[in-house]
């Protein structure tokens, strides 16, 4: 601690308890705001002095202060504070590489700009998908997304020139993620039917339980009303459908079964789950297994 900060602490023996009280009651206040409020109370301390106290108690970021509050009294967080905490936790996980799918978003969704961290690129995708899912495409602005991420709108435009580019990047990323997981699941199957079952479990689970990026992509598989958007993601959809074409191509079927129609029927049924699914009765995995079993009973040779 520098001399100025130390002097401030000497003049305010109760500063530490006051700072910790602000951490509990107003955890999103910055160090300058806390120092200013303390000065209004007659407690002299600099912003760096506030930060020094926070660091001593491992509270130097708003996310840490929110987490400490949530650990003590979970219901004390407002909805906005809860969202801020969740975004902060996600950002930390992205930066540390814990969430592999998210941290690789810059590679499969157009790439982060040179000199920028992939985690920021991925975080924008994640939060934008949240906002599009909650408010709809037309009612969501770049300003809304930037505010939710904690950036200026210009920083979002640095990664995505327009809202449509961001929306399409979410779809490309969603298709890439689920396609990789479907391929991996199918490769682990013990036989062709087991490979199909595993692939379908991944597909349905991603649509109803996955990240916001996964769910936006899944909903658009079933409910694309914008033909211009459909045209722009056709290549992604086709590449994904080819994965199921290859899996179904390996099934032992009766000679008169149309494999193309079988594939389209199965994908159509699974895609519609995003529309009618309600949590509680059957799990996504159970739904996928039942679909495959019903289909197998009708077409197995």
Average pLDDT, rounded, for the chain: 80
pLDDT of residue 254: 87
Burial of 190 (0-12, 13-18, 19+ CB in 10 A): exposed
75 versus 3: which is more confidently predicted?
75
The pLDDT of residue 183 is above 70:
yes
State the Cα–Cα distance between residues 102 and 117, nearest whole angstrom.
12
pLDDT of residue 220: 67
pTM, full prediction:
0.60
- Residues 198-239 have pLDDT tens digits of 999 999 998 888 888 888 877 766 555 566 777 787 888 888
pLDDT of residue 4: 43
Angle between helix axes 142-149 and 79-96 (nearest 10 degrees) is 80
Task: List alpha helices for the chain, DSSP H.
Answer: 3-11, 15-25, 31-40, 47-56, 62-72, 79-96, 100-103, 105-108, 118-135, 142-149, 153-159, 163-187, 192-209, 212-222, 227-249, 259-276, 284-299
105 versus 215: which is more confidently predicted?
215
pLDDT of residue 105: 39
């Amino acid at each position: 601690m520098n001399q100025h900060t130390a002097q401030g602490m000497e003049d305010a023996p109760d500063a530490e308890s006051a700072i910790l009280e602000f951490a509990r009651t107003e955890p999103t206040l910055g160090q300058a705001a806390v120092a200013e409020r303390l000065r209004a109370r007659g407690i002299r301390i600099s912003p760096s002095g506030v930060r020094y106290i926070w660091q001593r108690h491992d509270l130097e970021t708003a996310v840490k202060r929110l987490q400490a509050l949530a650990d003590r009294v979970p219901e004390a967080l407002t909805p906005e504070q809860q969202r801020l905490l969740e975004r902060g936790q996600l950002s930390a996980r992205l930066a540390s590489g814990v969430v592999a799918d998210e941290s690789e978003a810059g590679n499969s969704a157009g790439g982060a700009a040179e000199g920028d961290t992939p985690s920021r690129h991925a975080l924008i995708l994640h939060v934008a998908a949240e906002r599009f899912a909650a408010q709809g495409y037309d009612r969501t602005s770049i300003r809304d997304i930037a505010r939710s991420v904690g950036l200026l709108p210009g920083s979002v435009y640095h990664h995505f020139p327009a809202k449509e580019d961001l929306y399409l990047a979410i779809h490309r990323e969603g298709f890439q993620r689920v396609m990789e997981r479907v391929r991996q699941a199918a490769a682990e199957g013990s036989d062709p039917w087991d490979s199909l079952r595993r692939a379908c479990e991944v597909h349905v689970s991603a649509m109803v339980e996955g990240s916001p990026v996964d769910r936006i992509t899944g909903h658009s598989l079933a409910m694309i009303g914008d033909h211009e958007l459909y045209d722009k993601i056709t290549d992604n959809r086709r590449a994904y459908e080819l994965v199921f074409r290859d899996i179904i191509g390996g099934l032992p079927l009766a000679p008169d079964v149309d494999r193309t129609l079988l594939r389209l029927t199965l994908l159509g049924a699974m895609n519609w789950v995003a529309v009618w699914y309600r949590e509680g009765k059957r799990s996504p995995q159970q739904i996928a297994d039942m679909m495959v079993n019903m289909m197998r009973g009708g077409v197995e040779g």
